[in-house]
Amino acid sequence: MDTKTFRTYGHAIVDWIADYMNHIEEYPVLAQVEPGQIADQLPKTPPGESEEMEAILSDFKRIVLPGMTHWQHPSFFAYFPANTSAPSVLAEFLTAALGAQCMVWQTSPAATELEEVVMDWLRGMLGLPEGFSGVIQDTASTSTLCALVCARERATSFAINKHGFQRGSTQRLIVYTSEEAHSSVEKGVKIAGFGKDNLRLIPTGADFAMIPEELEKSVDADKKDGHLPCCVVATVGTTSSTAIDPLRPIGEICNRHQVWLHVDAAMAGTAAILPEMRRILDGVEFADSFVFNPHKWMFTNFDCSAYFCKDPKALTSTFEILPEYLKTDVDRRVKNFRDWGIPLGRRFRALKLWFVIRSFGIKGLQDKVRGHIELAREFESWIREDPRFEIMAPVTINLVCFRYHPSHHTFTEEELERINKDLMDELNRSGSMFITHTKLKGRLALRLCIGQTNTTREHVQKAWERLQASANRL
Ligand code: PLP
């Protein structure tokens, strides 16, 4: 493609994106297609000859778009958000155009130094301790895996890096997390070689947060059995209900037993940019590592996961590899982020974070996030006032867990599960909103999470009216 054609289609695509942003509410939030429906419309083999951009774009609109779930729709209330914003999209254009491989300082000094600066901005914005150093990873899953591998190496004086699990020690390394932790912890435990048998799922209380006394009991029991407690993964904002594990008592336990503390605040961490929400991170100074995703709730398009650690040496000693072809003259004077994570190749993710923080300003980000939290509280109040519904978990931040359960009716748990699942499916099939479900202590709960960039009170109110209308028909 020559630059003349590129310019023509570049303008056309920007126009299309701006129209998409303006008219996104005309699309169904959840893709209304059956499995295989998209693939059936695509040729089985790639084209031998060049195709016109006109035809490619036309197929994008005709085939691909109907198969998209519109995460940027303001009535997207499912899972956790993966929100974005215009400045983030613009920065991604530039990142794609620069096409830089930001693995070491020399391969793009600005990428490394901008990453250092924006991560330090973020650290300050969240009120994380001054000594924490930041690096951008692709996802929270990768960040947690990094933490687990670092914990493993610190606990064994880098013996596993050197000898692997093949040789020697019969002492088992144990990882602890709550029964409500995200599945990425179990995945990380498996990949890092701990083995699922060595993951302890600590019970939670009525608020679905880890019970610190149960954690200490488990650590003591493992020590008694000759095992080596290695890492605790605490969650600030669990996926099912945004429960907040109490970091201070958990941190004190980790400190006493010299166990690595990793904090997974994948979505909820963003709330800490509000002074009134900083309490969710009380005790974070005990953490050895901490992750939150600007790609969830900070208007920065996927992927962008902010990983902070107390001792970057633990990270670089674990991941450092220095083949001759990557050595540079400035290695001693700069950060080479390739040693701060798993992949060698790194995208220039700091650029979009820089665009977003500058374009919104701290106040703009705070206003949006505060607005989402207020809307969640209002939605909670509507649920509480209607005797046909009940709240299923404390509303700590921007997620409301609830279900249809009329107080005057006696339903079995199975009946409630079916009714609520049907209610959710009907709403999602309508294309007008999208919510998801979870199980809390074995009971099905519907989840409505408010975090899409352009969600307003009107969207939440409409969701509530649709829910009520569906309930009226039951
Ligand atoms: N941790 C928590 C608490 C989450 O809710 C999620 C995803 O929703 C993750 C980790 C995984 O995030 P990622 O997709 O960035 O790996």
What does the pLDDT look like over 34-49, one tens digit per residue? 999 999 999 999 999 9
* Confidence band of 304 (pLDDT split at 50, 70, 90): very high
CA of 324 to the centre of ligand 1 (A): 36
Compute, in angstroms, the gap from residue 91 CA to the centroid of ligand 1: 23
**Closest atom of ligand 1 to CA, residue 235:** 3
Within 293-439, residue ranges assigned H as helices are: 294-297, 312-319, 350-385, 413-429
Q: Is the dihedral of CA 306, 308, 312, 318 positive or negative?
A: negative
Answer yes or no: are the C-beta atoms of 117 and 136 closer than 8 Å: no
pLDDT in tens, 65-118: 999 999 999 999 999 999 999 999 999 999 999 999 999 999 999 999 999 999
Q: Would the pLDDT of 300 be above 70?
A: yes
Of 258, 213, 266, the C-alpha closest to 238 is 266
The Cα–Cα gap between 70 and 73 comes to 5
Q: What is the DSSP string of 158-226?
A: THHHHH-TTSS--PPEEEEEETTS-HHHHHHHHHTT--GGGEEEE-B-TTS-B-HHHHHHHHHHHHHTT
Q: Are residues 146 and 315 in contact, defined by beta-carbon separation less than 8 angstroms?
A: yes
How much distance in Å is there from the Cα of 252 to the middle of ligand 1? 25
Residue 153 CA to ligand 1 center (angstroms) comes to 24
Per cent of the chain over pLDDT 90 is 95
Cα-to-centroid distance, 30 and ligand 1 (Å):
20
Unique residue bearing structure tokens 């060698």:
344
Tokens 């996926």: give the residue.
239
Q: Is 84 exposed, middle or buried (0-12, 13-18, 19+ CB in 10 A)?
A: buried
Four-CA torsion 394, 395, 396, 397, nearest 10 degrees:
160
Instruction: Give the residues surrounding ligand 1 with Cβ less than 6 Å away.
Output: 80, 139-141, 182, 184, 235, 238-239, 264, 266-267, 293, 305
Distance 66 CA to ligand 1 centre (A): 26
Q: Give residue-wise pLDDT tens across range 363-420.
A: 999 999 999 999 999 999 999 999 999 999 999 999 999 999 988 888 999 999 999 9
Instruction: Kindly state the tokens that stand for 231.
Output: 């890492």
From 293, 301, 401, 438, the mutation candidate for ligand 1 (largest count of ligand atoms within 8 A of CB) is 293
* pLDDT exceeds cutoff 80 at 170: no
pTM value is 0.96
| Ligand 1 binding pocket mutation candidate from 146, 264, 398 (most atoms within 8 A of CB) | 264
Average pLDDT (55-71) is 97
What is the torsional sign of CA 453, 454, 459, 460?
A: positive
Angle at the Cα of 394 from the Cα atoms of 400 and 180, rounded to 5 degrees: 90
Position 3 scores a pLDDT of: 97
> Model confidence over 419-472: pLDDT tens digits?
999 999 999 999 999 999 999 999 999 999 999 999 999 999 999 999 999 999
Atom of ligand 1 nearest to the CA of 181: 3
Distance CA(125)–CA(346), nearest Å, equals 24
CB 237, CB 267: distance < 8 Å: yes
Give the pLDDT score at 473: 87
| The pLDDT value given to residue 431 | 96
Q: Which atom number of ligand 1 is nearest to the Cα of residue 268?
A: 3
Q: How many CB atoms lie within 10 A of CB 468?
A: 13
- Pairing between strand 443-449 and 399-404? antiparallel
Ligand 1 center–CA 182 separation, angstroms:
7
Average pLDDT over residues 188-199: 96
- Ligand 1 centroid to 325 CA: how many Å? 35
Distance 295 CA to ligand 1 centre (A): 10
The predicted pLDDT at position 168 comes to 66
- Do the beta carbons of residue 446 and residue 463 sit within 8 Å? no
**Top mutation candidate among 136, 141, 185, 295 for ligand 1, by most atoms within 8 Å of CB:** 141
- For residue 177, how far is its CA from the centre of ligand 1 (angstroms)? 14
* Residue 293 Cα: closest atom of ligand 1: 15
Q: 245 phi and psi, to 5 degrees?
A: -65, 135
Q: Which of 71, 184, 399 has the most ligand 1 atoms within 8 A of CB, as the residue to mutate?
A: 184
Give the tens place of pLDDT for each residue, 198-215. 999 999 999 999 999 999
pLDDT at site 41: 97
- Per DSSP, which regions of 380-456 are E strands? 389-391, 399-404, 436-440, 443-449
Q: How many angstroms does the Cα of residue 392 sit away from the middle of ligand 1?
A: 21
Cis peptide before 311 (omega within 30 of 0): no
- Residue 138 alpha carbon, nearest atom of ligand 1: 15
What is the position in ligand 1's atom list of the atom closest to the CA of 79? 8
Range 211-231 average pLDDT: 97
398: phi then psi, degrees, rounded to nearest 5: -125, 15
Return the structure tokens found at 191. 């990949």
DSSP element (H, E) containing 133 = strand 133-137
Burial 24-35, CB ≥16 within 10 A → b, else e = beebbbbbeeee
Q: Whose CA is nearest to atom 5 of ligand 1?
A: 239
**Cα 239 to ligand 1 centre (Å):** 7
Residue 243 has pLDDT above 90, yes or no: yes
Question: For the chain, what is the mean pLDDT?
Answer: 96
Query: Mutate which of 80, 178, 182 to test ligand 1's pocket (most atoms within 8 Å of Cβ)?
Result: 182
Distance 394 CA to ligand 1 centre (A): 20
Residue whose Cα lies nearest atom 14 of ligand 1: it is: 139
Mutate to test the pocket of ligand 1, among 238, 290, 296, 399 (most ligand atoms within 8 A of CB): 296
Q: How many angstroms separate the alpha carbon of residue 184 from the centre of ligand 1?
A: 7
Check whether 4 has a pLDDT greater than 80.
yes
